[in-house]
Amino acid sequence: MDTIRVAVIGAAGRMGSTVCDAVEGADDMELVARIDDGDDLGDLGGAQVAVDFTVPDASPGNVAHCISRGVHVVVGTTGWTQERLDAVRRDLLEHPEVGVLVAPNFALGAVLMMRFAQEAARFYESVEIVELHHPRKVDAPSGTAANTARMIAAARADAGLGPVPDATEHDPDGARGAQIEGIRTHAVRMRGLVAHQEVLFGAEGESLTIRHDSYDRVSFMPGVLTGVRGVVSRPGLTVGLENYLDL
């Protein structure tokens, strides 16, 4: 079995340091560089794959550097806009052998929750999403909740379902939550929580709740390691871990 040489960018951070531990614990990987803010990326310690968990303003530059050096990249940093992804695609034209995986959520259960919600969507007239996170989170709703809403909306449209029934006429304080492509999405911020999401489906006389809970950031590591193993043989840009899971 070939060992994959891995560099971690954002290595001093909460996610980055957990990734360093996971890479060091994997039999088929070698951690060759721990890089953080202010360090020179250089040749990334001779890495084949770089893992980026930094900040939205730094990540695109790091990815561009890796691509220019022919290093595959697994990106967990959030905040990737369509424009930024398009820039990655353009950079990859010059280096078509390089693989880049951008995954907004590396928790396998979260990816499965989204897939199961997409499957269930066409069978239920009503659906709402509740995402629950720690109070330090600065954006709402979570990217995962917004993605789930878009996937459900697309599945409903394909099935010819109309709007979710809702007689609300008066909601001055926004009690009914945000609407993302017609799907009501609610954000809870609470001390003690990590990252959680429920998708509630309803039909006459029944309901189905699909719930995922991340209790610890180690929950992201199997997905990150799957990304590292997969990215070396998947050239081009892939968005979403689900594309590596053969679902």
The angle subtended at Cα 242 by Cα 16 and Cα 31, nearest 5°, is: 30
Indicate the residue whose CB is closest to ligand NAD: 13
Ranges within 83-102 binding ligand NAD (CB under 6 A): none
Q: Does 238 bind ligand NAD (CB under 6 A)?
A: no
Nearer to ligand NAD, 187 or 208 (CB): 187
CA distance 43 to 68: 10
Binding site annotation covers 148?
Answer: no
Q: Residue with structure tokens 């994997």?
A: 26
Q: Does 226 bind ligand NAD (CB under 6 A)?
A: no
CA distance 226 to 106: 9
Binding site annotation covers 81?
Answer: no
Q: Does 16 bind ligand NAD (CB under 6 A)?
A: yes
Q: Does 78 bind ligand NAD (CB under 6 A)?
A: yes
Considering only 6, 47, 51, 53, the residue that binds ligand NAD (CB under 6 A) is 53
3-state secondary structure 148-169: HHHHHHHHHHHHCCCCCCCCCC
212 is a catalytic site residue: no
Nearer to ligand NAD, 13 or 222 (CB): 13
133 is a catalytic site residue: yes
Q: Which stretch binds ligand NAD (CB under 6 A): 64-72, 73-81, 151-159, 165-173?
A: 73-81
Out of 133, 186, 196, 212, pick the active-site residue.
133
Binding site annotation covers 77?
Answer: yes
209's CB contacts (< 8 A; 6+ apart) are: 198, 199, 200, 201
The single-letter code of the amino acid at 200 is L
CA distance 52 to 218: 16
CA distance 117 to 152: 7
End-to-end Cα, the chain, rounded Å? 25
171's CB contacts (< 8 A; 6+ apart) are: none
Q: Does 58 bind ligand NAD (CB under 6 A)?
A: yes
Q: Does 104 bind ligand NAD (CB under 6 A)?
A: yes
| In the complex, minimum distance from the CB of residue 225 to ligand NAD, in angstroms, rounded to a whole number | 13
Q: Does 218 bind ligand NAD (CB under 6 A)?
A: no
Nearer to ligand NAD, 105 or 118 (CB): 105
Nearer to ligand NAD, 62 or 197 (CB): 62
| In the complex, minimum distance from the CB of residue 207 to ligand NAD, in angstroms, rounded to a whole number | 28
CA distance 150 to 46: 39
Radius of gyration of the chain (CA): 19
Q: Are 60 and 88 in contact (CB under 8 A)?
A: yes
Binding site annotation covers 143?
Answer: yes
Residues that bind ligand NAD (CB under 6 A): 9-10, 12-16, 35-37, 53-55, 58, 62, 76-78, 103-106, 220
